[in-house]
Amino acid sequence: MPGLVAKERQVPWIEINPEDARRRGIVDGTMVIVSNVRGECRLRAVVTDNVLAGVAVSPKGRWQSSSLDSHNVNWTTSDALADIGGQSTFHSNLVEIRPA
């Protein structure tokens, strides 16, 4: 794992559309709180046109122990399994993003 973190060379992040960021007072590179009723985590905001308005993207993969606050984006996901195939249901998730 240390090799992967070193290769990444960044703190965990979430990509947010510029219009969504502006409405929330979020500036590129600043820390944000990503939350919903299940939990929250702190991530670095990446403001980019690469995501649609109303959508945010955060890669999974950081271990909880290597996150900024001992929480990762999985704290906002459901433990439920899909009804067809029994796979995970955490690839799509409703969250709020606000400045930290």
Looking at residue 19, which CATH number applies to its domain?
A: 2.40.40.20
pLDDT band at 92 (very low <50, low <70, confident <90, very high): confident
Would 67 be classed as within a structural domain?
Answer: yes
pLDDT of residue 3: 67
Query: Total structural domains in the chain?
Result: 1
Q: At 11, which amino acid appears?
A: V
Would 26 be classed as within a structural domain?
Answer: yes
Would 51 be classed as within a structural domain?
Answer: yes
Cβ neighbours of residue 44 closer than 8 Å, sequence gap 6 or more: 10, 11, 12, 13, 14, 29, 30, 31, 32
Would 96 be classed as within a structural domain?
Answer: no
pLDDT per residue over 33-54, tens digit each?
A: 999 998 999 999 999 999 999 9
Domain extent at residue 54: 2-76
Question: What pTM value is reported for the model?
Answer: 0.79
pLDDT per residue over 57-74, tens digit each?
A: 988 656 666 666 767 777
Would 86 be classed as within a structural domain?
Answer: no
Would 98 be classed as within a structural domain?
Answer: no
